[in-house]
Chains A and B, each alone.
Chain A
Amino acid sequence: MKHAPHFVGALVMSLLPACVQGGAAQEAGAFINQADRNADGTISREEFLSHRSAVFHKLDLDDSGTLTEPEFKLALSERGKRFSGRAFGKIDVDDDGFISPAEWEQNPPRVFDKLDRNSDGLLTPSERDRVK
């Protein structure tokens, strides 16, 4: 069929999104590299969570012990993301307008479990490489 090359062209175009760097993967990559404290190449769940609580203190600009909406907003905008009230509300379980350390910890990002393919609680270099 004389039109076939065009259809093949359309299929080849589906590779296009792969050429564009998605923001989520980029962020997760930076986060994971920083999380490897002892730089042994492997990240334990403990390392991951302790890095996450270090991030909490970094985002808590006024050292009040809680994250406010403006702090959360700034953190997102530094990462090139728009603020969404829903994302904040999801973490702020008791809806008091502040994210407490407990709320922060109760909301672990699913990225660890997603990357930890064999569910041994460790991210090996090969599992880490799945994030560019």
Chain B
Amino acid sequence: MEDIKAYIESGILELYVLGEISAEERLQVEAMALKHPDIKGEIDAIEASLEEYAAANAIDPSANVRERVLNSMLINLGDDRVFPDKESRQADNVITMAPTEINFYKYAFAACLALLIVSIAVLVNLYDDLRDSQSQLISLQLEKQQFTQRVNLMDTQLSVFRDSTFRFIKLKGTPKTPASVMTVAWSPVKKKVMIDMAGLNLPKNDKQHQYQLWAIVDGKPVDLGVFDATAVSADSADMKEMKPVAAPQAFAVTLEKRGGSANPTMDEMVVISNI
């Protein structure tokens, strides 16, 4: 115990705490402290009093040092956390303003871009709609034209039936083609001759031949024109106008070579009717 007391009073523990002894002595002191609680207690007391002494002599470093020191401590952590001083953060409004301004332009640019994309999409849609509408309009116009044509045709047909000067003459089949029948409309006043193509019932002619309508005037055949006995399409005229004739005694139809003949081939007469 005497040894320990002498050891404590030698002053080596104070120098140990101040870090002023060689590495050998340091290890020696640490070994002693482990063995003897008194020495450990003495070291603790010296440390505590010197810490208090330093605290009593403390001087605050200037406020900006805090951030600098903390940043340099943490910089090697790969840590970009900043330690702004709380007071300066409140005082300095410029620092907080700057990033919001940058953000405004960033968001404004993003908004413009989004608007542009939406606009293009709407434009493409509208363009498609416009094209659809235009094609519909064209087909409607075509339909309308067809209807107009058809109405005009029917008007002219109707006018023929309304016209009281027209006489409707039914041409009957000859013994060669007894089933054949056709109707000719003739106006002695207007000298007009028309064939009712819808009511026509003749054997179909081939491409080398055509039917020819004749009027018998003063016992002689007069050419009134040629026509085809084919299927009647919707938009073709139902009433075919032939060459005019003033006072016929009869109408007859013969099958002639395409384009018609100067004189009728009597063998090929299909229908005839006297007036």
Do A and B belong to a common assembly?
no
Residues of A bordering B, CB below 8 Å: none
